[in-house]
Amino acid sequence: MSESTKYKVFSKGKIAGLELRNRIIRAGCFEGMCQDESPSELLLEHHKAVSAGGVAMTTVAYCGVSRNGLAFGHEMWMREEIVPMLERITDAIHREGAAASIQLGHCGFFASSRVIKQRPIGPSRKFCTFRLSLSREMTEGDMAQVREDFGKAAAMAVRAGFDAVELHSGHGYLLSQFLSPWTNARKDRYGGSLENRLRFPVSVIQHVRETVGSAFPILIKMNLRDGFKGGLEVGDAVEVAKSYEAAGASALILSCGFTAKTPLYMLRGNVPTKEFVKAEKNPLLKMGLFLFGNIFVQRFPFEEMFLLEEARLVRRAVHMPLVLIGGICSLENMETAMKDGFDFVQIGRATIRDPGIVRKLERGEMLASDCDHCNRCIGEMSAGPVRCVCLAEGRSSSQSRRLKEPL
């Protein structure tokens, strides 16, 4: 029996009408390969390599729906002039037998005022220690514009040949800022109760659904927990999942963490303070990271499948396909996810470490990724382009686990 028939994770899966060759999706990991705010040849080659490496679908990330939704000067934002290059990227992915998704989002209150040349917007007026900036509260006119931007960005993604879009409603991005009590202190119909906090994100999903049609796959990345007191908790996340299913989402990616407050909660493992300091361009923030990096950026111990227990609560509450992410390191992890009723898994750092990992797992050459979760790649992506620092330094991970016997 071959590895590909032995494990369910290597069987075909479907999201809406999109058939995927297996159930392993490359997560939306910011590549840092859009130095002029546009997709590059480097970005093309990066996703081509991951696609050739065997993933079912690769997620191009991050793409702002407008320029005022950017956190870095080397992120792309969706507009007509980048569509031809995005077409080349999707063509390259398709030639390798994989599907292509693009992550669309808006950074909201943690957008960089230095990059966007204006004051960031958010659900409420909020000081962001991550940026040392103060956002302004969005008006209903702002919400209408952002909603329209999401729809236009999705339409352009379809024209560029993407097989799916992923709307970012997790990690403290704008849509999840509306969901989180920590960033949403509004007193109108968009704040207060969870029903009110859901109103704007749900309206965005509904508008994108109307724009791309009933059959096109829309994945939503959402939080199970924000990772701090006063943030979104899993009880509310279950209700969010139900609302997103009703609004027209095709699948949910169950994640966690808040970029502007608990950035490594979504990853776990070591804090790469040295790389963060090196990448930071703001002198004041650079000094703060150098002196107090271990306080500003909390460390969360890594565990395999660290979101499984919370994700099971969502699995019991909705009928749509679910994608499990968070510490998916091995075939054993993937098969556990399949047995627990999850339809797909997403992996990120493992593909940065080795773009060909899925083929190697499928051929029985490896049991698990040998990424040791040092997270130095995270610091690298802030400066761009992302890479495995251990490999660049010519050394192997101390956690290498080669296949010696069957599971």
The 3-class SS string of the chain reads CCHHHHCHHHCCEEECCEEECCCEEECCCCCCCCCCCCCCHHHHHHHHHHHHCCCCEEEEEEEECCHHHCCCCCCEECCHHHHHHHHHHHHHHHHCCCEEEEEEECCHHHCCHHHHCCCCEECCCCEECCCCEECEECCHHHHHHHHHHHHHHHHHHHHCCCCEEEEEECCCCHHHHHHCCCCCCCCCCCCCCHHHHHHHHHHHHHHHHHHHCCCCCEEEEEECCCCCCCCCCHHHHHHHHHHHHHHCCCEEEEECCECCCECCCCCCECCCHHHHHHHCCCHHHHHHHHHHHHHHCCCECCCCCCCHHHHHHHHCCCCCCEEECCCCCEHHHHHHHHHCCCCEEEECHHHHHCCCHHHHHHCCCECECCCCCCCHHHHHHHHCCCCCHHHHCCCCCCCCCECCCCC
Successive 10-residue mean pLDDT values, the chain, 407 residues: 76 98 97 94 98 98 97 95 98 98 98 96 94 95 98 98 98 98 98 98 98 98 97 98 98 97 92 62 51 64 97 98 98 98 97 97 96 86 82 59 42
Task: Classify residue 120: in a domain, yes or no.
Answer: yes
Bridge partners of 329, per DSSP, are none
Closest by Cα among 297, 302, 262 to 277:
297
Measured between alpha carbons, how far is residue 59 from residues 147, 150, 162, 246, 333 in Å? 22, 17, 10, 24, 21
> Which among 7, 62, 173, 244 is annotated as catalytic?
173
Looking at the structure of the chain, the number of domains it has is 1
Task: Classify residue 139: in a domain, yes or no.
Answer: yes
CA dihedral 168, 220, 297, 400 (to 10 degrees): -120
Residue owning tokens 């292509």: 100
What are φ and ψ of residue 62, in 5° steps? -105, 145
The whole-number pLDDT of residue 13 equals 98
Active site residue 173: yes
The whole-number pLDDT of residue 390 equals 86
The whole-number pLDDT of residue 400 equals 41
Task: Classify residue 350: in a domain, yes or no.
Answer: yes
The whole-number pLDDT of residue 284 equals 52
Instruction: Report the CATH number that the domain containing residue 333 is assigned in CATH.
Output: 3.20.20.70
Measured between alpha carbons, how far is residue 107 from residues 66, 70, 71, 121, 154 in Å? 10, 6, 6, 9, 17
Closest by Cα among 193, 180, 169 to 249:
169
Domain residues for the domain of 332 are 3-266+301-370+379-392
